[in-house]
Structure 1
Amino acid sequence: MIRSGAAVAGRMPEVVKSDNRIFSRTPLYDVKTRIKNVNTGGYFDAFVKDVSGSGMGMATTCHFNPGTVFEISLEIPDGFGPLKLLGKVVWSKETDFLGHRTGVAILNPRFMSVSRILKLFF
């Protein structure tokens, strides 16, 4: 997006980055979670790095293609047991030789699931 009044007197237009997130993302400190790859049936551990009411960023040991669907079991200490979510990979990129960062959108979030996330983390 370019602000109006740009390119006056030879100045370069000011570019403003936009973010279409509905909820703000809150950083976490490596919350371990168990993930099931719905496409393959395989299980693996991941670390949730940040969370919002509509998605999360995870550290994983391997790359996942956008569109990969996960069942996510997130331990939340609120007395109601693990929070079960269905998520879809939006992006995945290599961070170093040890792992990847993966962005996951929560699919069809139920009101109570979003409420538990918001209550605990916000």
Structure 2
Amino acid sequence: MILKKDIIIALSKKLSLPYKGTEQDWDIEMADSSRINEFIDLYHQHDLAFEERMALMSLIVASYDDYLNEHDLAVDCRWDRIKATLTKDKRYFIELIDYWSLDNEDDIFRITPLMRTI
């Protein structure tokens, strides 16, 4: 999924992210496992444009993958919220789900086994 620059800039400002404009993979580079709750709350509690929701969910998933790396796969209740949102709007998030699910047998990302359940 290609994220539009104006959407990235708007979300970066809303979230006070250290965005410089040179990031190649904004969602992965701006991921922050300590802010997952804040990101999820913004997704659910604010009136965001469709493309903002798409970009924000990319950031949430990347941040949760970081969390899993830091906490040795300790899945918590936030995954339930993330999974419910991805499942509910699967048709919009199919590229994101496919990216993190990987088609091969190697689980390169910590979140891959979780994403494969969607």
TM-score by length of 1: 0.28
TM-score by length of 2: 0.28
Relative to its length, the structure with more strand (as a share) is: 1
Higher relative contact order structure (alpha carbons within 8 Å, sequence separation ≥ 6): 2
Structure index of larger Rg? 1
